[in-house]
Homo-oligomer: A and B are copies of this chain.
Amino acid sequence: MTIPSHVKDMLNRIRARFFDSPLHERMVPSDAEFTTLRPVRKATQASVDKYWTRLANTTGAADRNAIADPLTMAMPEQFNANIENFIGTVKLPVGIIGPLRINGLNAHGDYHVPMATTEAALVASYARGAYAATKSGGISTAILYEGVIRTPAFVLENLLNAGLFVEWVVSQVETLKAAAESTTGHGKLVSLEPVIDNNVVFLICRYTTGDAAGQNMVTIATNALCDDIAARCPVALKAWYIEGNFSGDKKASFLGLVTGRGRKVSASVTLKADVVTRSLGTTVQDMLDYGQVANLGAHLSGQLGAQAHYANGLAALYIATGQDAACVAESAMGITRMEARGDDLFCSVTMPNILVGSVGGGTSLPSQSAGLNILGLKGAGHGAALAEVVAATCLCGEISIVAAIAAGHFTRAHENLARHR
């Protein structure tokens, strides 16, 4: 039997659902009439009502009340800068962990960290890691680098023109920098680097973005830079695009791993042997042994970097503090390491792509703003510290999951905590 059995099983499963309904009838386009939603940019009680009327076929009063609840509907306009076609809010439960002691270049002190998730056991697991880290003296953190990138692409006639284009861009860099920075009070263009693939040139435009995550800021600045190029460049452009799908925006990429996007932060702690034993229920050696296997698994499966579950900590913290949850896709990579230090266990995470801001994005919405206040990191001056808190939190998660798997507790924790569903 040359066809793997699971392939046959799958075909049978798929086929079984459609025993007597010919597939081709289901999957063809249909010209049936439809009435599209009228787009709404500024939500009002009336616009929300209208939408819910439309949803009445599949939803009931309880559904509507769960999303368009009275508190939300008291001020629908507060969401206007963050969403279109507004129908209410979804509520994610928030738990806290802490105190998490951070001895960082920017973050410094004992923090309580809010985490929003619907996955049982997650907060408890991070809390356990935070306890072990704090009990061992806290987590050292440092921002190593920062710079959000946009990478516009320019299409030239041929290789020669691509070379001439790059020469011209390099000669104009101060003017282009001024054009980019004229659009923003906080963004600074810190580097401009060309990558040539024959007649196509990508420009890696790297910005510091102050205390904001800065994704929109760099888009707008880069657009101004490109407009200036398009207006003045003596080499004919066949086309240009604000983003050549090269920057790693909203997705994992090796470019991001190698050069960083957003803030690059490293965080580490040396866990005391007795803390490992008493608080984590395992031993330093067992954690190191598992670390070897986990590292092998990372290589063999083709991860970008090697880590266990940054995404859990990132998603929970991003959502609780008004960051862009979609950036989890690009932030969730990096390196987790463990080493023996005498009898103790050194653990570190280095995360090259943390995208967070203490201003901008969703940070001024009421509950998200409160999330930042819990950390004491709301508003100007706190972007770098917030990034360090993110890395420290992810380190807590790594410590806890490695200990759980090394000790054989991983499954049990999930069984117990999710048992009520």
**Which chain B residues border A67 with CB–CB below 8 Å?**
94, 114, 367, 370-371
By the criterion CB–CB under 8 Å, are A92 and B92 in contact?
yes
CA–CA, A321 to B170, complex, Å?
Answer: 37
By the criterion CB–CB under 8 Å, are B305 and A299 in contact?
yes
Q: Chain A interface mostly helix, strand, loop or mixed?
A: mixed
By the criterion CB–CB under 8 Å, are B91 and A406 in contact?
no
By the criterion CB–CB under 8 Å, are B374 and A59 in contact?
yes
Set B2, B195, B302, B314: member contacting A255, Cβ < 8 A: B302
* Known interface pairs A5-B5, A13-B208; 9 further A-B residue pairs with C-beta atoms within 8 A, sorted by A's residue number: A3-B170, A3-B191, A89-B94, A90-B91, A92-B362, A241-B406, A250-B309, A251-B304, A252-B332
By the criterion CB–CB under 8 Å, are B58 and A373 in contact?
yes
Q: Produce 1/0 per residue, A334-357, CB < 8 A to B.
A: 010101000000001010000000
Q: Beyond A85-B123, A365-B91, is A308–B3 a contact (Cβ under 8 Å)?
A: no
**Copies per complex of this chain:** 4
Least Cβ–Cβ distance between A20 and chain B, in angstroms: 14
**Which chain B residues border A406 with CB–CB below 8 Å?**
241
**Which chain B residues border A142 with CB–CB below 8 Å?**
14, 27, 159-160, 163
By the criterion CB–CB under 8 Å, are A298 and B170 in contact?
no
By the criterion CB–CB under 8 Å, are A309 and B257 in contact?
no
User: Would you call A185 an interface residue if the criterion is a C-beta within 8 Å of the partner chain's C-beta atoms?
Assistant: no
By the criterion CB–CB under 8 Å, are B87 and A252 in contact?
no
**Which chain B residues border A147 with CB–CB below 8 Å?**
6, 10
**In this complex, which of A13, A62, A250, A319 has the most chain B Cβ atoms within 10 angstroms of its Cβ?**
A250
Q: Beyond A103-B29, A124-B39, A258-B259, is A144–B253 a contact (Cβ under 8 Å)?
A: no
CA–CA, A242 to B146, complex, Å?
Answer: 28
By the criterion CB–CB under 8 Å, are B92 and A319 in contact?
yes
Chain A residues 252 to 308 lying within 8 A of chain B, measured CB to CB, are: 252-259, 266-270, 289-290, 292-308
By the criterion CB–CB under 8 Å, are B301 and A304 in contact?
no
User: Would you call A99 an interface residue if the criterion is a C-beta within 8 Å of the partner chain's C-beta atoms?
Assistant: yes
CA–CA, A92 to B116, complex, Å?
Answer: 11
By the criterion CB–CB under 8 Å, are A55 and B96 in contact?
yes
Least Cβ–Cβ distance between A310 and chain B, in angstroms: 7
User: Would you call A46 an interface residue if the criterion is a C-beta within 8 Å of the partner chain's C-beta atoms?
Assistant: no
User: Would you call A234 an interface residue if the criterion is a C-beta within 8 Å of the partner chain's C-beta atoms?
Assistant: no
**Which chain B residues border A324 with CB–CB below 8 Å?**
117-119, 315
**Which chain B residues border A70 with CB–CB below 8 Å?**
71
